[in-house]
Structure 1
Amino acid sequence: MRARVPASRAAAAAAAAAYVVAGQGGGGGGGGEAALGAPGGPGRRTVHSRRQSSRHPGPAVVAGVRENMGVHGAACLALLVTCAACSAPPVPLEDVVVIERSAVPERCERAVKKGDFVRYHYRGAFPDGTAFDSSYKRGSTYNAFVGRGQLIAGMDRALLGMCVNERRAVKVPPHLAYGKDGYGDIIPPDAILHFDILLLDIWNPEDTVQVKTYSKPEACSRKVQVSDFVRYHYNGTLMDGTLFDSSRTRLRTYDTYVGTGWLIAGMDQGLLGMCVGEKRIITVPPFLGYGENGDGSDIPGQASLVFDVVLLDLHNPKDGIAVEKLQVPENCPRKSKAGDFMRYHYNGTLLDGTFFDSSYSRNSTYDTYIGKGYVISGMDEGLVGVCVGERRRVIIPPHLAYGEEGTGKIPGSAVLVFDVYVVDFHNPSDVVQITSSFRPETCEPRSKKGDFVKYHYNVSLLDGTSLHSSLHYGKTYDVVLGTGQVVMGMEMGLQDMCVGEKRRLVIPPHLGYGERGVAGEVPGSAVLVFDVEMLDMEEGLPEGYMFVWNSEVTPDLFDDMDKNKDTQVDSAEFTDYILRQVSEGKGRLAPGFEPHRLIENMFANQDRDGNGKITAEEFKLKADESPAHDEL
């Protein structure tokens, strides 16, 4: 798969046929022609010919002998062969090739038949064991068509019915070999030939890509089509099982377009129709693979290729996101839109189910604006139009996710699958939503700033997750409105209520606990839902007052406070007097505050020189005081 072979099967087959007819044997096996080639010219089919072959001896055999032994060595070999032939007993002309199957594979997917092209190794020897040829020594298989006269007749017969990885010991009589003529100095006349054959490959010009699926997922929503982009792992072997390449050794998938010429033609065809998670064996004949020359490295010429493939990912450049609504709440008063701020949980996987990330593992939601580019564009799009409490699956192609480069645990060109649960969302422009679920017929007075109110509440997140409740504490929650004792959204929601009224308040985080929330209690950026019941209310004092009179103020106020008549009022005298006025109903302290703290503040405001005593000159009523002071 490292090279592209766009040539069609027909063109490749024609090229292979022309290659053989041209007299080059079987490609890499041309050197064995002296031992295996037919005893006649390229067009000759007579196996009983006694005439010396006019075909030039195979270059690998002759050249190999001369290189290894020199000219004198070649003469010695010829002499040895001749002597062996002279001393051999007469051989009857049996029309039989003796075959011994010395090794047979357990499985035989295919057996050689006439017209097949084969690649095999062999050793050739005479009956006394003297070797005359070997493909192993040349480092390449012998490649030829069977039954087309490219081999000696005995070899044509011997190869029929063989399986890949089968080993045979073959004895060929002379009239099915080189007969009375022999072959030059290599094969003497009337020589019996012994061959040890190991078959490595079979194919036929009529072959197509063979696909065998051995594992397929039950659900297959989409299959590979032309122009799709795929990510897959593979092991590539020759037909005899020899490994030539594997994506797994590189620890990354093979990523490519299908049907656009980026792959060898056989793989382009073999991947079509696959599902993500499917496992197949794809067998590619050489004319749909790397052809006569191989890849120049690990794949020999004329080799069938076997790919064990598992498809991990699939998309098309034209794809948009795909959304599957897994669970939608019955009540959905509002759907998300671009510009909203959302809190959601997710599990992220690749298309084959491989996990890469989860918000659950961090025990916190993923919080972000949507539609503003803060997240990948596919997620921006996939989160629009959801309801709080909705569960959906968003499938995002890589061009809308992390592209060709990927990031972290996400490989390049990966389709991403997010299972999303929407916890809440809001918009920065949101205000408090107030819904009155119960209101008494007589709803007066109504709460306002400064009033002291007592109420019960239950608070939850927008998805219904309960946070806490005043009922759990067995007492009401008591606040003075407008004093910052509760979040701004609650201040707004408690205004204009009457005792006995029940409300639901939906408070966005910018009017609640903001981005940080409350550690261990309220998540950051959370929308809060308060169910509130007003139980009691006490009218507050006018703004700026801590104490007011319920009746006319006595003109001898300072003298009444100065209990010991020393012309000055100390803290004890001041406190005792104010508390007595409250108990007698003549005056009222601001509700909701601790009385002594209020009185201390009142005294401090009157004690202008800070000496712990109030004189008549220092003492003033609120109506007589400048706005800078907060006194009686």
Structure 2
Amino acid sequence: MDENFEENMDQVEEEEEIGNDGLKKKIIKEGDGYETPINGDEVEVHYVGSLLDGTRFDSSFDRDVPFKFKLGLGHVIQGWDDGIKTMKKGEKALFTIPPALAYGESGSPPTIPPNATLQFEVELLSWTKVKDICKDGGILKTILTEGENWQTPKDPDEVLVKYEARLDDGSLVSKSEEVEFIVKDGCFCPALSRAVKTMKKGEKSLLTVKPQYAFGEKGREPTYGDECAVPPNSSIQITLELVSWKTVSEVTSDNKVLKKILIEGEGYDRPNDGAVVQVKLIGKLQDGTVFLKKGYDEVLFEFKVDEEQVIDGLDRGVKTMKKGEVSVLTIHPDYAFGSNESHQEYATVPANSTVYYDVELVSFEKEKDLWELNTLEKIEASGRKKEEGNILFKKQKYERASKRYEKALSFIEYDSAFSEDEKQQANVLKISCNLNNAACKLKLRDYKHVVKLCTKVLDADSKNVKALYRRVQAYIQLVDLDLAEMDIKKALEIDPDNRDVKLEYKLLREKVKEYNKKDAQFYGNIFAKMNKLEHLNSTNGARKQDVVSMTIDSKA
């Protein structure tokens, strides 16, 4: 036996059984840490194999070379696969392996007789992590060179890779110096897109790929003269390196504005609504035609975010960028120029065009955040946002106007630090913004939200006729006619001569009549059906009685 094993025999612990098939283990020396290898990992061990009578039949020490194999893939006897999975790095253990988990009835002549129980003293030197990417053994990844940072590519990202694919016998299938592709679109074979999503920048890995993630039942014909064909149902080995990638993110939830980062920006800060940004900008059509170029002369192109000074997709895209970032924005017509033809500086943008903007965010100055303002500045900012909302409402841009009113309210929502005079000003603004927002929500047919907003106003001012009037409109649409009637009567009590309220009351009475008529018709139909059903039941009952009578008579 090796001296290292003998030195540690005094540290042998109690023997434990692994599984239910008779495999036993004694720890000779404890390992380090808590991790153990898993199926697919490439392990490196030193070992001594003996029969129960002490006859040694094999030893890696005799060759002075550790033994390497992939765990759990049937490359060694079952007892090894099961036992080494329980070991930590640096651990030494004695395994007693029954015939069923070793060489069975046939043995391994001439050194191992039939039905032999074996003992192996094993030292786990190290292992290389192998990731089972698809959890089915179809793609096993062994990291050859660790990558940088922690980020990995996602489906929309554009990656640059190098790869070399070979058959299990080493024959070259394909080799690429550098190739770029979108992850979800894939490249070469299905394994590449799946594997690259688990890799870090600069990582180099070896992929063991089963046929279902390679070329399946059809195989592959060679593309170049130095390549070989992939036979049907063949596994392949791919050495894959992730050189770099460009992150592509969805700026809008409907996937109609996408951003591909070419150069990462600095820090974490990004422009907010109202920020003034300075950019370099090139707008292109799908065929590469440039229709706009700004900021490349002595003066940078400057605009204010969320002020409709540029197209919506550009506005939204710039808000996601960091200082110094260079990105390409892909903008659907809905967020660009829509169904109208647009004449720009260098070329016309046809109707319904997807456009592309190369954008460099050189610098920006954020609009002050709430916490940076004193109480007077908060009231002034709220007033400005309310007026911006009013302008947008007049332009029939109700959704944007609604957001302005909500922004205006955010400045004055918490007024505990306000003076009494400032609280009065804030209350007037709150009522005005909630009423105006309710008008927006009516236009947007968000009637439940209208009710909430008007209720807030009435909590502050129970005699506010506008709030009652707009809540009536919402209740009518929600078919809460009793509640609508209560509000309209209260509004008329407060302002009997209000023309709009009178017209709404007239509309409400018509709606009530209409629904009463429908209800009468509905219940009338139900009663008619019930009467008809009762008549049929009584008729059927009489017929049944007649049949019973006839049966009795015939028997008599």
Larger radius of gyration: 1
- Kindly indicate which of the two structures has a greater share of residues assigned to helix: 2
TM-score, with length taken from structure 1 = 0.25
Structure showing greater relative contact order (alpha-carbon pairs closer than 8 Å, 6 or more residues apart) = 1
TM-score, with length taken from structure 2 = 0.28
